């Protein structure tokens, strides 16, 4: 099992690490720099994504109508 804890409070982290050591839990500390501009750039890239080719599905509503056209419905 993996548990991820994120905190900016060094005192709280020290207490959690001390408890984990008493319980013989393996600790991996990763310093992740939270760069807000990287997140904003990634968000903008996702929101502004434009496909270079047209969709292979063509018109979804037309496909749906074609798929359902040959069915006999019981309430007609």
The pLDDT tens digits along the chain (76 residues) read 888 888 888 899 899 989 999 999 888 877 766 677 888 888 888 888 877 777 677 788 888 888 887 777 777 5
List, in sequence order, the alpha helices (H) in 1-76.
Answer: 10-22, 36-47, 60-68
| Distance, C-alpha 56 to centroid of its chain | 25
Q: Are 27 and 17 in contact (CB under 8 A)?
A: yes
pTM here?
0.38
Instruction: Spell out a b/e string for 27-54, using b for 16 or more CB atoms within 10 Å of the CB, else e.
Output: eeeeeeeeeeeeeeeeeeeeeeeeeeee
């Amino acid at each position: 099992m993996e548990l991820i804890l994120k905190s900016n409070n060094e005192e709280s982290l020290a207490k959690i690490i001390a408890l984990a050591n008493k319980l013989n839990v393996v600790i991996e500390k990763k310093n992740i720099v939270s760069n807000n501009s990287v997140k904003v750039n990634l968000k903008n890239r996702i929101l502004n994504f434009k496909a270079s080719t047209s969709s292979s599905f063509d018109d979804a509503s037309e496909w749906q109508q074609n798929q359902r056209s040959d069915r006999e419905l019981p309430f007609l």
